[in-house]
Structure 1
Amino acid sequence: MNELIAQLEKKLDNLACEEPMAGLRVVAALERITEQAGRLVTFNVKADDPSDEAIAKSLGMAEQEVGTYLLRHYLRR
C-alpha cells in the first residue's frame, strides 16, 4: 500500500506541473473517495474498539489527537 501511495503522489506531482487541470480533477476524485472511505473505515475501527494508543501508533500521531481525528473523518460530508 505504501508503494501505491508513493506512486500516486509522484504522478500527482507530475500532473501538477504538466497538466494542472487533469491534476485538479484527480484531486477532486480522491477527495470524494477518501470522504466515503473515511466514514466507513472510521465506523469499522470504532466497532473493533481498539485503544486510542493503538490507533495513535498505527497513524503515527499523538494519542490525544485520535478522538478529534476519528470524529473529523466520521462526520465528513
Structure 2
Amino acid sequence: MLPLLKQQKEHAWLAEVSSVPLQQALRHLDQAFLNFFEGRAKHPAFKKKRHHQSATYTANAFTWRNGCLTLARDG
C-alpha cells in the first residue's frame, strides 16, 4: 500500500524521503500490534510529531566513507 499512498496527491510528501524509514516504521507498527494481540504489550499509542524524532535505516540504506555518513535518498 505504501507505493499507492506515495502516488496520491495528499500524501505526495511521502515520496520526498527514502522508503527505508517508512518501511521500517510499518514493520515496527506491525510488531507492536502483534505483541498487543498476543498479550505481550499494551495497545500501541500514537506518538506526537512535536517531540523526539527518529528514523530507522537498514544496513544497506546508508554508507560510511572517510568519516562521512550518506543516508539513502539523502545527499
TM-score, structure 1 normalization:
0.29
More helix by share: 1
More strand by share: 2
TM-score, structure 2 normalization:
0.30
